[in-house]
Amino acid sequence: MAGTIKGLVFSPTDNQLTDVYLRRYLLRLDDLPSSCFHVADVYSASPDRLLANLAPAPGTGNGDDGDGDDRVWYVPTPVRLLGGKIARRRKDRTVVGDGGGGCWRAEGWAEDVRGSAGGGRMQKLSYYRAEYSGGGGIKREWIMVEYSLPGSEHLVALCKLYRSPRYSRYITPPSMTSSPSTSVASGSKRKADQEEADHRDAPACSVRRQNPPPDAGQETAEPFC
């Protein structure tokens, strides 16, 4: 695609991302439109650096939602695996180009993509950055949905990245003057509130939204890297 049609809003459904775009990319049937997709390694840099010079999908970023940044990026990316037996190897979501302190962390279970004829799967993740001592990390504003197809889930994924509409509400490190019990309790509540807001307020699609798929995940939430 040489260019984009003025006024076009690129907002594909989940099953279109798996069954049409990811499938065609895997089969090399044709090149994905460069105005809508950017082939890159999402684990090579923090999302701020990775997406700084990449244009968002057409029609996003107009600020029409009235609630901050509504830009969306679609990025086919290679998948990295941790060591161990091939059948049990887990995905390595550490961001290697971010000073060793960032990673994408799974939020909940992987889910089946509703309506996917190819058995598509989707996993929601949040970006965390270790910015203080004592373990754990700070949840940043970035959200990613990782789409995959059977047989290629350990090779290539199609990722949808966007900022949470509530990204000003970070999970902050515990105060040096707070007691451990108070810090843990308050941090847990902030995390739960943030996670619910992040995925509830994802950028809206211009097409009919599908009902959430049933809980059928096989991949458990990963610990902080």
Q: Quickly list DSSP for the chain.
A: --S--TT------HHHIIIIIIHHHHHTSSPPPTTTB----TTSS-HHHHTTTSPPPTT-SS-TTSSS---EEEEEEE--B-SS-GGGPPB--EETTTTT-EEEEE-S--EEPTT-TT--EEEEEEEEE--SSSS--EEEEEEEEEEE-TTTTTTEEEEEEEE-TTTTS--PPPPTTS-HHHHHHHHHHHHHHHHHHHHHTPPPPSSPPPPPPPS---SPPPPP-
The answer to whether 154 touches 88, Cβ cutoff 8 Å, is no
| Maximum C-alpha span of the chain | 59
Query: pLDDT at residue 107 above 70?
Result: yes
Mean pLDDT of 83-90: 62
pLDDT at position 172 is: 40
| Domains in the chain: ranges and CATH | 14-200 (2.170.150.80)
Mean pLDDT of 6-18: 89
pLDDT at position 225 is: 55
Mean pLDDT of 10-23: 96
Weakest-pLDDT range from 33-42, 63-72, 171-180: 171-180
**Mean pLDDT for all residues in the chain:** 75
pLDDT band (50, 70, 90) for residue 29? confident
Query: pLDDT at residue 26 above 80?
Result: yes
The answer to whether 194 touches 98, Cβ cutoff 8 Å, is no
Q: How far apart are CA 213 and CA 94, in angstroms?
A: 27
* Amino acid identity for residue 150 in this structure: P
Nearest one of 216, 198, 42 to 113, comparing CA atoms: 216
The answer to whether 47 touches 161, Cβ cutoff 8 Å, is yes
pLDDT at position 86 is: 54
Weakest-pLDDT range from 36-40, 74-78, 95-99: 95-99
Query: pLDDT at residue 121 above 90?
Result: yes
pLDDT band (50, 70, 90) for residue 189? low
Better-scored residue on pLDDT, 214 or 51? 51
pLDDT at position 198 is: 54
pLDDT at position 119 is: 96
